[in-house]
């Protein structure tokens, strides 16, 4: 029988006395035996709400009851029935995987047979059995998330709070994560799942959509999605450049949102609006505009008022460039070993100027290793890496001066202000005098960093951290831009802003290499390579990879379907 686990009535939380509330006058309920999705843009109040429910923060106004307890007066019994997995890795990096599990088992008083069974189950699910002796700090981002979840589930809770648990986790692991969560739901456990992946929100029984601390929508995701019936369109058979078609479409008042979807362009039309014709947006004589079923992400963007408007300032910031070589980025039989472990082998591909080429694959597949070799941050054990015709082994400094790199984790200096980070990277790239001043001014204007110049980078909202990281990577006008999971954990609206800048750079001849676990994002790319066990097992346009997964009950496969089908096929052909 379903019961109400959390009752929230008029709850408000402020961090500054005269500031805007992080959560404002919120009223809602959370039930047992189902997954409640918590979605919203960066800074919407999702993490604050989870911490209030977990008893880690106290409300300022209103009433809050969690599993019958008032967090203000009954924190200890509440903590015995609520499990919380924070957004940031909250474990002990100088302890091994098994030592972290043992610590959390001790804290939860899990002993004897129950302890052994919990360890066996959780290690099997997360795939961490081979790594029990590895320090948590040495795990990949995805493996850290898995360890954090395992520690949260050491003891069976009544309520499980997950703050973006799938950030940095590959699609295979995400499906396994959902499988485990549904097992918990079948045991009548309530789950609150905060997420930036809106395809995950569609799997929830109910969603709470927050913006600026207020609830914009509460209820089944399907009901919100249905409200957009007849307002979502796909522009197919485009003969021109997809990114130019998207840019022109977004200039039309009726179009409130749009993204690249493989070889097509997906558009959302405002209420009462009319979809543009192919001629309106320069899609070519063969192009057609057809109605398609809406997605929850379309409804999310509509509820927030649509995507970012206007052209990216990078549309005019870069002078078009030409290179007298066929391949701007080239990997030739590239390989890297760490002792007896082979992280990558036989990697071969070429990327043309003005092309976006993505690497996708499971956690630990070797994507970041390949990236670091191509950026000159890691020396290959075998093979050759070239950027703009320069061999990174023979001319590393010259090659690195021609590229920009945005790391998987926020790689800037948190104790330095925004201004100091910009000035530091201007010096790293050798910018001086007027060139330096112009570059700094351009980055501040292009990314709207002016109000934050004296703020420490570590305290910026995630969306502004991404802006700052991209600004530092492109201020020297690179020919090639390497983006290692650049929008991990970023909400769809911020992601669209980010990609509007990338598309504008590419239109002017910048070449982009990107890794991502967000497979809808991989569809924005011209080509993608699927990396598995240190090898590339498939390469092609996103639509071509999806075509390989067609059949066997999949009439219209997603890129995630293709990802999983190709990995499983490789497992059958080359079992470990």
- When pLDDT is cut at 50, 70 and 90, the band that residue 386 belongs to is very high
When pLDDT is averaged across residues 116-139 and rounded to a whole number, the result is 88
- For the segment 281-334, what is each residue's pLDDT rounded down to a tens digit? 999 989 999 999 999 999 999 998 998 887 888 776 555 666 667 789 999 999
Structure tokens, 130: 């081979």
Beta bridge partners of 267: 233, 258
- For the segment 224-262, what is each residue's pLDDT rounded down to a tens digit? 999 999 999 999 999 989 999 999 999 999 999 999 999
Q: Is the pLDDT of residue 459 over 90?
A: no
Q: How far apart are the first and last CA of the chain?
A: 44
Q: How far apart are CA 492 and CA 40, in angstroms?
A: 9
Q: What are phi and psi of 436, to 5 degrees?
A: -65, -50
Q: How far apart are CA 342 and CA 372, in angstroms?
A: 15
Structure tokens, 341: 């472990």
Structure tokens, 344: 């990558």
CA-based Rg of the chain, rounded to a whole angstrom?
A: 24
The total number of residues written for the chain in this structure:
576
Q: What is the DSSP string of 253-265?
A: TTEEEEEEETTEE
When pLDDT is averaged across residues 482-500 and rounded to a whole number, the result is 85
- Give pLDDT, residue 287: 95
Q: How far apart are CA 406 and CA 387, in angstroms?
A: 16
- Does the CA dihedral 218-223-224-225 come out positive or negative? positive
Of 174-178, 268-272, 338-342, where does mean pLDDT reach its minimum? Answer: 174-178
3-state secondary structure at position 129: helix
Question: Would the pTM of this model clear 0.85, i.e. be above it?
Answer: yes
- Give pLDDT, residue 103: 93
Residue whose structure tokens are 């078009």: 320
Q: How far apart are CA 310 and CA 250, in angstroms?
A: 8
Helix then strand then coil, % of the chain, to nearest 5: 35, 25, 40
Beta bridge partners of 260: 265
Beta bridge partners of 477: none
- Give pLDDT, residue 153: 83
């Amino acid at each position: 029988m379903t019961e109400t686990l959390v009752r929230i009535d008029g709850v408000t939380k402020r961090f500054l006395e005269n500031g805007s509330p992080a959560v404002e006058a919120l009223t809602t309920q959370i039930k047992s035996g189902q997954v409640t999705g918590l979605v919203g843009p960066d800074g919407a109040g999702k993490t604050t709400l989870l911490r209030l429910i977990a008893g880690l923060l106290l409300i300022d106004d209103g009433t809050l009851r969690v599993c019958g307890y008032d967090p203000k007066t009954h924190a200890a019994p509440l903590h015995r029935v609520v499990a919380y997995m924070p957004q940031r890795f909250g474990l002990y990096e100088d302890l091994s995987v098994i030592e972290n599990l043992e610590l959390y088992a001790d804290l939860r008083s899990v002993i004897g047979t129950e302890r052994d069974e919990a360890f066996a189950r959780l290690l099997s699910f997360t795939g961490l059995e081979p790594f029990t002796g590895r320090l948590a700090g040495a795990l990949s981002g995805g493996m850290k998330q898995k360890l954090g979840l395992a520690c949260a589930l050491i003891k069976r809770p009544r309520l499980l709070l997950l703050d973006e648990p799938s950030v940095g986790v590959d699609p295979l692991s995400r499906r396994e994560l959902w499988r485990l969560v549904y097992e918990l739901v079948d045991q009548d456990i309530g789950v609150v799942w905060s997420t930036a992946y809106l395809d995950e929100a569609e799997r929830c029984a109910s969603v709470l959509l927050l913006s600026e601390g207020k609830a914009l929508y509460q209820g089944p995701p399907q009901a919100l999605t249905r409200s957009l019936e007849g307002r979502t369109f796909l522009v197919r058979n485009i003969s021109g450049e997809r990114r130019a078609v998207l840019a022109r479409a977004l200039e039309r008042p009726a179009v409130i949102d749009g993204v690249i979807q493989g070889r097509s362009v997906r558009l959302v039309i405002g209420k009462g609006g009319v979809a543009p014709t192919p001629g309106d947006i320069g899609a070519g004589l063969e192009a057609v505009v057809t109605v398609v079923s809406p997605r929850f992400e379309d409804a999310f963007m509509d509820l927030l008022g649509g995507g970012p408007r206007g052209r990216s300032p990078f549309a005019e910031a870069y002078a078009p460039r030409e290179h007298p070589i066929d391949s701007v980025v080239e990997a030739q039989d590239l390989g890297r070993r760490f002792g007896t472990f082979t992280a990558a082998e036989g990697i071969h591909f070429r990327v043309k100027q003005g092309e976006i080429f993505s690497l996708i694959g499971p956690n630990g597949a070797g994507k970041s290793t390949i990236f670091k070799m191509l950026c000159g941050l890691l020396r290959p054990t075998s093979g050759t890496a070239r950027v703009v015709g320069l061999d990174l082994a023979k001319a590393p400094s010259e090659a690195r001066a021609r590229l920009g790199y945005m790391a998987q984790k926020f790689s800037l200096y948190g104790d330095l202000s925004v201004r100091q980070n910009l000035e530091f990277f201007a010096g790293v790239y050798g910018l001086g005098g007027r060139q330096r001043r112009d570059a700094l001014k351009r980055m501040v204007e292009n990314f709207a960093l002016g109000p934050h110049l004296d703020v420490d980078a570590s305290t910026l909202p995630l969306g502004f951290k991404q802006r700052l990281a991209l600004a530092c990577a492109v201020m020297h006008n690179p020919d090639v831009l390497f983006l290692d999971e650049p929008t991990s954990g970023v909400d769809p609206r911020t992601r669209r802003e980010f990609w509007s800048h990338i598309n504008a750079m590419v239109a002017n001849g910048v070449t982009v290499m990107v890794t991502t676990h967000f497979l809808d994002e991989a569809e924005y790319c011209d080509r993608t390579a699927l990396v598995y066990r240190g090898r590339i097992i498939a390469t092609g346009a996103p639509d071509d990879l999806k075509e390989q997964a067609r059949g066997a009950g999949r009439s219209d496969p997603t890129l995630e379907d293709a990802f999983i089908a190709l990995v499983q096929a490789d497992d059958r052909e080359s079992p470990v």
